A and B are shown apart, each in its own frame.
Chain A
Amino acid sequence: MMMIFGVPLAVFMGQLTLGLVNGAFYALLSLGLAVIFGLLKIVNFAHGAQYMLGAFAALLGFRYLGINYWLALFLVPLVVGGFGMLMERFLLRRIAHLDHLYGLLLTFGLALIFEGTLVNFFGVSGARYSTPEALQGGLNLGFMFLPTYRAWVLVAALAMCLFTWFMIERTRLGAYLRAGTENSQLMQAFGVNVPLLITLTYGFGVALAAFAGVLAAPLYPVSPTMGSSLLIVVFAVVVIGGMGSILGAILTGLGMGIIEGLTKVYYPEASNTVIFLVMILVLMLRPAGLFGKEA
C-alpha cells in the first residue's frame, strides 16, 4: 500500500477530506460573520445558534411537516434568515447607536435563549437526521472511499461561498454593501436606504449560517449545543483570516480545516488545539489577520 510520510494513502486522504468538509463549514460561517461585522460592526455571537436553528428547522420540518432535505436546503435559510431580519429590525437596531459591545452582548444573550429553549424541549443528546437517499453510499476512487454526502457538502458549501463572493464583489447590491461598510453615512446622502441594507445584510448572514446548519444536519447529531462549540473555532478562524476580505474568509476556513485534518493524521492529540495555536502565531506576527487590513 502506498504511504505518505508513514501513513497509508487512504487514511491520509480520508482525513484530508474530513478536514476539507470541516473547513467548508468554517468558511460558510466565517463568511457570514465577516459580512455582518463589515456593515453592522457587530460580532454576531448568535451565529452558532442560528446555524443550530438551521439544522433544527430541517429536522423539525421533516418530522412534522414532511419537508424533505432538498426543499429544506432552500426553505430553511429563507425562514431562519427572515427570523434574523426580525431580530435586526426589532432588537439590534434599537442599540445600533450604542457601543458595538452591546450588540455582542445582545446576540450572546439571544444565543443562550435559543439554546436554552431548545434544550428544554429536546434535551442535549441530539437527534439523527437521515442522509437523503440520493446522497447515501460512497464513491470508490481507487485510493480511497469517498462518502457521497461529504463530497456533496464540499461542493454545495463551495458553491454557496462562490455565490456570496459573486454577489458581494460583482453586483450592484454588493457594491452598496462594500461602500456601506466603508461609509454608510455617505451612502444615505446618495439616497441609499441604509437601514434596509443593514436588515438585508444581517438576514443574509444568518441565512448563510442556516444553510450550513441544514448541510450539517445529516453529518452531526442535531442538538441545541451543536453551534456553540463550533462557533469558538469559527471565531478563531475569523481572527486568523482577518475581517478584511470575503475571499480571505473562504480561504482561511478551508485552510484551517485542512490543517486540522492533517493534524489528526500525524499528531491527533493536538487536533483540537492546532487552530488556536495558529491563531496565537498570527496574532503575534500579523495582528490584523492574514487577509485583514492593518488599522
Chain B
Amino acid sequence: MNTAEAHNANEFADSQTTLEMLRVHDLHAFYGESHILHGVNFDVKRGELVTLLGRNGAGRSTTLKSIMNMVGRRTGSIVINGNETLTMKAHHIPRLGIGYCPEERGIFASLDVHENLLLPPTVRSGGMSLDEIYGMFPNLYERRKSQGTRLSGGEQQMLAMARILRTGARLLLLDEITEGLAPVIVQKLGEVLMQLKERGMTIVLVEQNFRFAAPLADRHFVMDHGQIVEEISAEQLPSRRDHLNTMLGV
C-alpha cells in the first residue's frame, strides 16, 4: 500500500462518524404498558435513502415516531448528526435538521394550503424556496387558497412533503407516503424523491409498496416484531427478492 492510499484509508476512517446522519442503537419504545420496539439497531449515512420494510405492526412507524420523541417512553440511543437526542425535548429534535411526514399526513383543516405550507418553522438555512416548491408541485400553487383538507389524497401527500422541504431539513423521515394513492401520483412522488436525493438529502422511508421503494433505495432494513431482522443492500436485492416477498407476505 503506498502512502497516498494509506492516507486515503485514514481519511475514510476519520470521516466515518461525520458521514453518519442517524444511528439508532438498542432502541426500545413503549406506549403505556405495551412494549413496541425491542432493541432496534440501524444507521443511515449522509445522502443515503434507506427503507424500513415490514408487515403492519412490525414497528416501522413507531421507529420514526421514537426518533421524533412522539411515543410514551424510549430507552437506548438515537444519535442524529453526532447529537444524542434521547433526552432532548420533542421540539428541539427537528431543529437538528429533521423533517417528519406522518402516515396520516397531518394536513391542518383550519389552515389553507399556503398556510399549511408555511407552517413548519425553518430549522436550517438552505431550504427550498416557495417558488422552487411550487415549481415542483404545480398543483399546490393552483390550489393554494383552498382549505388544506379539501385537497385530494395525492395533493395532501404532496403538501405534507412540500412543507418539510421548505424548512431546510436535511434528514427526512417519511411514513407510508404512497399509501392509497393512484399509480400516476406514486410515480410523481418517486421522481420527487430522486430529485431530493440528488440534492443530497438523507431519507428514511417507511414503505409498504416495495416496487416503489426498490429502485430508489440504497439499503433496505426489514423489521419484524419491533426489531430489524435483516439488512439488504441495493446490490443484494435482485437475488433476495423472492425471499423478501415471502417475508413481507406480499
Known contacts A175-B119, A193-B91, A194-B91; decide if A188 and B108 are in contact (CB<8 Å): no
Q: Nearest-CB distance from A192 to chain B (Å)?
A: 6
Query: Bound complex: CA of A185 vs CA of B68, how far in Å?
Result: 10
Within 8 A of A (CB), among B47-84: 68-70
> What's the tally of chain B residues with a CB closer than 8 Å to chain A?
24
Provide a sorted-by-A list of 19 A–B residue pairs whose CB atoms are within 8 angstroms.
A175-B115, A179-B108, A179-B119, A181-B110, A183-B106, A185-B70, A188-B69, A189-B68, A189-B70, A189-B90, A189-B94, A189-B100, A189-B102, A190-B119, A190-B121, A190-B164, A191-B92, A191-B94, A191-B121
**Residue in chain B with minimal CB distance to A172:** B118
Query: Bound complex: CA of A151 vs CA of B118, how far in Å?
Result: 40
- Please report whether the interface of chain A is mostly helix, strand, loop or mixed according to DSSP: helix
Cβ contact within 8 Å between A190 and B108: no
In the complex, what residues of A have CB within 8 A of residue B92's CB? 191
Residue B91 contacts which of A175, A182, A192 (CB distance < 8 angstroms)?
Answer: A192
Residues of B at under 8 Å CB distance from A?
Answer: 68-70, 90-95, 100, 102, 106, 108-111, 115, 118-121, 123, 164, 167
In the complex, what residues of B have CB within 8 A of residue A193's CB? 91
Query: Bound complex: CA of A185 vs CA of B106, how far in Å?
Result: 10
Q: Nearest-CB distance from A182 to chain B (Å)?
A: 5
Known contacts A172-B118, A175-B119, A186-B102; decide if A191 and B95 are in contact (CB<8 Å): yes
A83 part of interface (Cβ distance < 8 Å): no
In the complex, what residues of B have CB within 8 A of residue A183's CB? 106, 108
In the complex, what residues of A have CB within 8 A of residue B123's CB? 191
Query: Bound complex: CA of A107 vs CA of B135, how far in Å?
Result: 50
A176 part of interface (Cβ distance < 8 Å): yes
Query: Bound complex: CA of A175 vs CA of B108, how far in Å?
Result: 10
A178 part of interface (Cβ distance < 8 Å): yes
In the complex, what residues of B have CB within 8 A of residue A188's CB? 68-70, 90-91
Task: Sort A-B residue pairs by CB-CB distance and give the 5 closest, nearest first.
Answer: A191-B94, A190-B120, A188-B90, A178-B110, A186-B106
> What's the tally of chain A residues with a CB closer than 8 Å to chain B?
17
**Residue in chain A with minimal CB distance to B100:** A189
Residues of A at under 8 Å CB distance from B?
Answer: 172, 175-176, 178-179, 181-183, 185-186, 188-194
Known contacts A188-B70, A189-B94; decide if A182 and B110 are in contact (CB<8 Å): yes
Query: Bound complex: CA of A176 vs CA of B111, how far in Å?
Result: 10
Q: Nearest-CB distance from B69 to chain A (Å)?
A: 8
Cβ contact within 8 Å between B91 and A191: yes
Residue B111 contacts which of A179, A186, A190 (CB distance < 8 angstroms)?
Answer: A179
Q: Nearest-CB distance from A140 to chain B (Å)?
A: 46
In the complex, what residues of B have CB within 8 A of residue A172's CB? 118
In the complex, what residues of A have CB within 8 A of residue B111's CB? 175, 178-179
Residue B94 contacts which of A179, A185, A190 (CB distance < 8 angstroms)?
Answer: A190
Q: Which of B102, B115, B123 has the most CB of A within 10 A?
A: B115
In the complex, what residues of B have CB within 8 A of residue A192's CB? 91, 120-121
Q: Nearest-CB distance from A243 to chain B (Å)?
A: 13
In the complex, what residues of A have CB within 8 A of residue B109's CB? 182
Query: Bound complex: CA of A178 vs CA of B108, how far in Å?
Result: 8
In the complex, what residues of A have CB within 8 A of residue B90's CB? 185, 188-189
Question: Beyond the given A178-B108, A192-B91, could you list 8 further A-B residue pairs with CB under 8 A, ordered by the A residue number?
Answer: A175-B119, A178-B111, A181-B110, A189-B100, A190-B120, A191-B91, A191-B121, A191-B167
In the complex, what residues of A have CB within 8 A of residue B68's CB? 188-189
**Residue in chain A with minimal CB distance to B149:** A182
Query: Bound complex: CA of A189 vs CA of B93, how far in Å?
Result: 8
**Residue in chain A with minimal CB distance to B67:** A189
Query: Bound complex: CA of A129 vs CA of B59, how far in Å?
Result: 64
Q: Which of A175, A181, A186 has the most CB of B within 10 A?
A: A186
Cβ contact within 8 Å between B120 and A191: yes
Query: Bound complex: CA of A174 vs CA of B90, how far in Å?
Result: 21
Cβ contact within 8 Å between B118 and A190: no
